[in-house]
Structure 1
Amino acid sequence: MRIILLGPPGAGKGTQSTRIVERFGIPQLSTGDMLRAAVAAGTPVGLKAKSLMESGALVPDEVVVGIVADRIEEPDAKRGFILDGFPRTVAQAVALDEMLAAKGLRLDAVVEFKVDEDALVGRIAKRAAETEARGEAVRKDDTPEVFKTRLDAYRRQTAPLSAHYAGTGLLRTVDGMAPIDAVTGEIETLLRGLQPVSA
């Protein structure tokens, strides 16, 4: 089962990823974690990424796709994986499809979390207030101002993926504003209905 979780920051993708990992026994692949691991391991792609990161340059799509390509060869990803935070653009989605096709693989579904953006901003503000009330430091990306910037970036870069994957027939949507357990149930029903991977 090879799936992508799609939705704006704060939509609940991280929470649901953890539950999918537990329920279906497939790893969640975060491009940030994979980049750091590839750099630490000194793989050819990792070394390329390291020199780019040290120079302050953005890691280009082909390097990120190369890191994903290496990671899905590992034994724990043979039965499938969840991609979270990648692809971020339609160009990355096309590159990902090409890489998977070259391996004789394909995605099974793209699960999009439909959310009310105003309510999300409220959710983040509440989380920040609760964190402060406990005397803990609020994460930089958990302030409403930073969150709105991230939301704008999502709308510009990543939201077009919804139409892209709808065109391929892979897109499935869940109500990201529903209670957490209800969202989990909806995702599980959807994933159990997928055809077994033939690869």
Structure 2
Amino acid sequence: MRAVLLGPPGAGKGTQAARLVERYGVPAISTGDIFRANVGGGTELGRRAKEFMDAGQLVPDEVTNAMVRDRLAQDDVRAGFLLDGYPRNPEQAAVLDTMLAELGVALDVAVELTADVDVVTERLLKRAEIEGRADDTEPVIRKRLEVYAEQTAPVAAYYADKGLLAQVDGLGEIDEVTARLVAAIDR
């Protein structure tokens, strides 16, 4: 399985990604993990990313793309992968297509977890309370969801145009959502 997992913050991507990689026996590739590995390992890409992160800026696509390219070239992803947090925009999606073509493989599916904005906001507010995230207030959460809708949701349209998008309701019991995801991926 070579898949991309899309969805707004609070839709349950992290929970479902862990379940999917266990079921399909492929590694989860998250940009957060890639950034931490490169920064922690002191790689050239990590040093470049850290400069932007330390300045409170987004890491530019060229650096993110290079990190993902390096990760996709590693042996453990030959049998497949689940990308979570990448691509974040249609330009990155096009670069991913090129990367995969260079590796002689193609994406099987892009699965978008959908969720009602109000329900996701409530989830994130509860998580902020449990985890002590004082900065995750309702206005901040709603802004994050707006940013997702503006910047990342067009990735879903990109994959829909290619016939690769499967949309799955991300609300409900965890096992129910997992079953819906597996059915969508296996189609």
TM-score greater than 0.5 by the shorter chain: yes
Using the size of structure 1 for normalisation, the TM-score is 0.84
**Residue of structure 2 in register with 1:19 after alignment:** 19
Aligned partner of 1:190 in structure 2 is 184
* Aligned partner letter, 2:93: A
CA 1:122/1:13 → structure 2, altered by over 3 Å: closer, same or farther?
A: same
Answering whether residue 96 of structure 2 is matched by residue 102 of structure 1, we say: no
Note if 1:152 corresponds to 2:146: yes
Question: Structure 1 residue 165 and structure 2 residue 159: aligned?
Answer: yes
Q: CA deviation at 1:45?
A: 2.8
Query: 8 Å contact 2:73–2:103 — kept in the other structure?
Result: no
- Aligned counterparts, 1:28-47, within 5 A: 28-47=28-47
Shift of the 96–82 alpha-carbon distance from structure 1 to 2, 3 Å rule, reads: same
Change (3 A) 1:139 1:128: closer
Map 1:11-160; keep pairs closer than 5 Å: 11-54=11-54, 57-129=57-129, 131=130, 138-140=132-134, 142-160=136-154
Number of matched residues? 187
Which one-letter code corresponds to 1:189 in the other structure? A
Alignment-mate amino acid for residue 119 of structure 1: V
Moved more, 3-12 or 59-68: 59-68
State the SS of the aligned residue for 1:159.
helix
CA RMSD of aligned residues (A): 2.0
1:141 and 1:147 in contact (8 A); partners too: no
TM-score (norm 2): 0.89
Q: Which moved more, 1:146-155 or 1:184-193?
A: 184-193
Is 2:3–2:81's contact at 8 Å kept on the other side of the alignment?
yes
* Percent of residue pairs bearing the same amino acid type: 50
Larger CA Rg, structure 1 vs 2: 1
Structure 2 Cα separation of the partners of residues 145 and 7 of structure 1: 19
Q: CA distance change for structure 1 residues 78 and 121 in 2, over 3 Å: closer, same or farther? A: same
